A and B are shown apart, each in its own frame.
Chain A
């Protein structure tokens, strides 16, 4: 029964993705994209990745929609129409073939870990999580485990991520300042 639900959810997701490429104006595309994010968040939650689901909901459905709409505020109404060219035959034949090849390759992947319904969270995560919970304080002297992982074990990752976000923020600030003049 659960499998039917997952298949239904994935069919809805694919239908939405096809719909995004069919709609005729940008405001509708934004709405359908938000719909896609909602369904995607449900898929993440079903797979047990609750944090990812939350980020998908916050960024995908909330923030991205608002940012797209802010951009559309600046556009004239006739500029929000989409004129679509006919789909080239290469794409029509090649992309399903590519999808089939990816599915064929996915058959060789190792089997899905046990406990997908949240009882035990897969083999890798149970093994590693216990290790972090017990030993992170002795190794890093940081009381909070999340902070220990983020700022000690993955310090370089976090540093470079911060650099990326800082650069993006500066670029946005410069662009918007020119716009205001």
Chain B
């Protein structure tokens, strides 16, 4: 049971998360407007936070990785706020050009 968990289940979950980020990455790279890109970036960051926790589980060091995932989530919030502030400031001009 433990073998299955370590050898198949956890790598499978990691693979699944990587595949999910592909969908978001498509939005970030091709998304017609800046807002699509921002939402895609948020999606990728949540996937990476989950990925960090799963990597921590795979390495038996979850306690350390939980701290990093928390810091990551906080920074992601700050980044999103900065982007939102920027779009509030000049979003109309950017959107008209895109």
Segment 52-69 of B: residues with Cβ below 8 Å from A: 52, 55-56, 58-61, 64-65, 68
Q: Cβ of B25 and Cβ of A72 under 8 Å apart?
A: no
Main secondary structure of the interface of B (DSSP, over half): helix
How would residues 28 to 51 of chain A score, 1 for a CB under 8 Å from any chain B CB and 0 otherwise? 100110110011011001101010
Q: Cβ of B79 and Cβ of A66 under 8 Å apart?
A: yes
From A5, A31, A38, A81, B38 is in contact (CB under 8 Å) with A31
Q: Can you list 14 A-B contacts (CB < 8 A)?
A: A2-B14, A4-B15, A5-B14, A5-B15, A8-B19, A15-B25, A27-B86, A31-B34, A42-B52, A50-B61, A53-B68, A57-B68, A58-B75, A61-B45
From B58, B78, B90, B98, A117 is in contact (CB under 8 Å) with B58
From B28, B60, B97, A32 is in contact (CB under 8 Å) with B28
Known: A35-B44, A118-B61. 15 other contacts (CB 8 A): A1-B8, A5-B11, A19-B28, A28-B37, A42-B51, A42-B55, A45-B68, A57-B72, A61-B72, A61-B75, A61-B79, A62-B79, A65-B79, A117-B59, A118-B60
With A62-B78, A69-B83, A77-B97: A38-B44 Cβ-Cβ less than 8 Å: yes
Residues of A within 8 A of B58 (CB): 117
In the A-B complex, the 10 residue pairs with the closest CB atoms: A118-B59, A77-B93, A62-B75, A1-B11, A19-B29, A8-B18, A5-B14, A31-B37, A66-B82, A38-B48
